[in-house]
Structure 1
Amino acid sequence: MDLSTTDPDSVLDTLDRRLVCALQVDGRAEPGRIAEVLGVSARTVTRRLGRMRQAGVLRVVRLPDVEDAAVGALLLRVRVLSGRVDAIAQALADRSDIPFVDVMLGGHEVGAVMLTDAGSRDRLLYGQLPATGAVTETTTHAVLHAFADAGQWRAGYLTDEEAAALARPTGPRRPTAPRLPANRPTAPRPTADRAVAPPPLDGLDRALLERLGEDARQSHALLAAAVGAPESTVRRRLHRLDEAGLLRTHATVDPRLLGMAVDANLWLDVPPGRIAEVGTALARHPQVHGVFATSGPANLLATVFCPDHGELYRFLTDTLGPLGAARAETTITARAVKRAGVLLRQPARRP
């Protein structure tokens, strides 16, 4: 199967999707452990994961701690002149301090997440974007609190028992919360509340985390060679970092390949006294892959994956409706350009 030219809706079969879900649970899981849990051969796991990674449709990277990365991050909504959206989206995606870039349906808006210092922020917002002439308006929201982020989302092709078997036993973690009902079983997702403080990081720790930010599935031997340390030392350091919750990984893949054809942003106006309640409830829902309290006219952002527009409508009416938001603006992603720092390969168009 040629993954680079096949229609996105038919690229990944059920086993492929289950393998991706296994990496959502543990991005560094070894083929043998995945094979044992899913009931297939290790050779099949290795071959299929290698095929997806070689084709560029799957990449596993290390994500920073959700509180460290998200709180203070900027959510950008950039309005662009007709015909210039691709150029602006690519320019934003080329920046190392912008890990997420989406082109919104309609072709006049680019959404992005920016993690940077005040100087770089001001140069982009007040200098570079206005200077292009293609940008008509930029709306900036600061993240005040993270209830859930992309690293905690599960696509739902594993049972709870399979997900639990794949999860690595570690030290103290963020507490887990019960889920709302779902059409398919998924493992409970941790909240963003910190349970333990991370250890102080030295140069070796930072070097390892940087390498895993490029490819979280590198072996201990490869990492040891890259950072110039004994493999036994690398194993101990990774175990310590993992116990502190600093080895969160993200299996980056086009959500359409997992049966999620609709990716929507819900900009919500919630009574201030209910932000925590509504944010926590939405973070537990298996279709939600991000919930953030924000500054600006909308004080809560929820990002949702749905199989189709009908399912999005049911989410709005059946899930969001009873939560009592005063206003909800729904924007739909037409094309994901960059996710978790990874540029996504765009599927080939049909003739």
Structure 2
Amino acid sequence: MDVTAADPATVFDTLDRRLVCALQVNGRAGAGLIAEALGVSTRTVTRRLARLQRTGLVRVVRMPDVEDAAVGALVLRIRVLRGRVDAVAQALADRPDVPFVDVMLGGQEIDAVMLSDAGARDRLLYGQLPATAAVTETTVHTVLHAFADAGQWRAGHLDEAEAAALAEPPVARPVPGSVPLDELDHVLLARLGEDARQSHAALAAAVGTPESTVRRRLHRLAGAGLLRTHTTVDPRLLGLAVDANLWLDVPPGRLAAVGTALARHPQVHGVFATSGPANLLAVVFCPDHGGLYRFVTDTLGPLGVTRAETAIVGWAVKRAGVPLRRLDRPSGRASGRA
């Protein structure tokens, strides 16, 4: 079944997809810059972006630094009783320390990422999950190294010149704790974590600080590499119907090379070395199941991967801290195309 057929608001045309890609390159880019890079009018870009945000199908949020946030994170694989997956997935998604939640195809497994201290971790793993009658088994993997995360993925609907016109100058990734942050910095970062496209004026009004001060602070934070953004969108709206987690066995001596190679692949939106039975996790988007097969055979095969467990995502519940709308459940919101 075409999941977009029931709701016109979930149909993305070529320009919609190009706008999403523009936001992937530069989540805080203004409408004028995007219009110039894509060769369309500023008015059209403004109206299209407003519609995409209003329907809740696209959100741009600030993403924590990959090394700071991902290393030491837990990847949970939770087996649940059939028919109870929605309740458990929603309970996990409601937690602020769980930014990613997926329900796997078949409806009996939930995969989630947890970023938390030892106390909250232990309460969840040793208290709350075992006490939940719907949970039958939990497997825990620790992220040991991050080769690439979702904030670095690009959907590929822009050419190199368009992407270059939108890209901000590269900045070095900050060493955790090396950039001093005061209370105002933390408040601004938290607000951008909810909506990274808020204007300087809107942020200034929200925090009760002069706009000139907000501009200076954001300029400093951007220069320190602390304003990376992530554009959350269901990949099916971009023509990518299959979302899969690949749990890979790689010879230890090849782990760094394979992880680095996969991080450069355009279909990969996350690569992590992990503890547990598999030592590398790659998360990929493919146009269809045939594309996933070709990825396994043509990409993983030559890299020397010895075993690959393929788990297909049935429903992405939460990405980068943002709850996602299910395309097969119409929102009832009105929509209009510019």
TM-score, length-normalised on structure 1? Answer: 0.90
Q: Distance in 2 between matches of 1:198 and 1:219?
A: 27
* Aligned residue among 312, 319, 333 for 1:332: 312
Matched, 1:321 2:296: no
**TM superposition shift of 1:169:** 2.6
Q: Distance in 1 between matches of 2:205 and 2:253?
A: 52
Residue pairs, 1:29-48, within 5 angstroms: 29-48=29-48
Residue pair 1:7, 1:348 contacting (<8 A) in 2 also: no
* Aligned residue among 243, 246, 255 for 1:263: 243
Q: Distance in 2 between matches of 1:314 and 1:4?
A: 28
**TM superposition shift of 1:197:** 7.6
Residue 334 of structure 2 aligns with which residue? Answer: none
Q: CA offsets per residue over residues 69-127 of structure 1, 9 Å max, x none?
A: 10010000000011111111111001110000000011110000000011111111111
Residue pairs, 1:1-351, within 5 angstroms: 5-6=6-7, 11-169=11-169, 172-173=171-172, 198-348=178-328
**TM superposition shift of 1:272:** 1.0
Residue 183 of structure 1 aligns with which residue? Answer: none
Residue 182 of structure 1 aligns with which residue? Answer: none
Q: Distance in 2 between matches of 1:152 and 1:136?
A: 34
Residue pair 2:141, 2:276 contacting (<8 A) in 1 also: yes
Q: Distance in 2 between matches of 1:271 and 1:5?
A: 46
Q: Distance in 1 between matches of 2:99 and 2:218?
A: 23
Q: 1:47 is matched by which residue type in structure 2?
A: R
**TM superposition shift of 1:195:** 8.0
Q: Distance in 2 between matches of 1:221 and 1:169?
A: 23
Q: Distance in 2 between matches of 1:286 and 1:265?
A: 15
Q: 1:315 is matched by which residue type in structure 2?
A: F
**TM superposition shift of 1:173:** 2.8
- SS state at 2:192 partner: helix
Residues 349 and 95 (structure 1), Cα distance of their counterparts in 2 relative to 1, 3 Å cut = closer
**TM superposition shift of 1:161:** 0.9
Residues 250 and 144 (structure 1), Cα distance of their counterparts in 2 relative to 1, 3 Å cut = same
Of residues 230-239 and 212-221 in structure 1, the stretch that sits farther from structure 2 once superposed is 230-239
Root-mean-square deviation (CA), in Å? 1.7
For structure 1, list consecutive stretches of 5 or more residues without a partner in the other structure: 175-193
Residues 250 and 294 (structure 1), Cα distance of their counterparts in 2 relative to 1, 3 Å cut = same
Residue pair 1:21, 1:158 contacting (<8 A) in 2 also: yes
Residue 336 of structure 2 aligns with which residue? Answer: none
Residues 269 and 348 (structure 1), Cα distance of their counterparts in 2 relative to 1, 3 Å cut = closer
Residue pair 1:4, 1:347 contacting (<8 A) in 2 also: no
Q: Distance in 1 between matches of 2:8 and 2:206?
A: 37
Q: 2:61 is matched by which residue type in structure 1?
A: V
Residue pair 1:73, 1:114 contacting (<8 A) in 2 also: yes
**TM superposition shift of 1:198:** 4.7
Residues 329 and 160 (structure 1), Cα distance of their counterparts in 2 relative to 1, 3 Å cut = same
Q: 1:66 is matched by which residue type in structure 2?
A: V
**TM superposition shift of 1:167:** 0.8
Q: 2:208 is matched by which residue type in structure 1?
A: G
**TM superposition shift of 1:4:** 10
Q: Distance in 2 between matches of 1:326 and 1:348?
A: 37
- How high is the sequence identity, in percent, across the aligned residues? 77
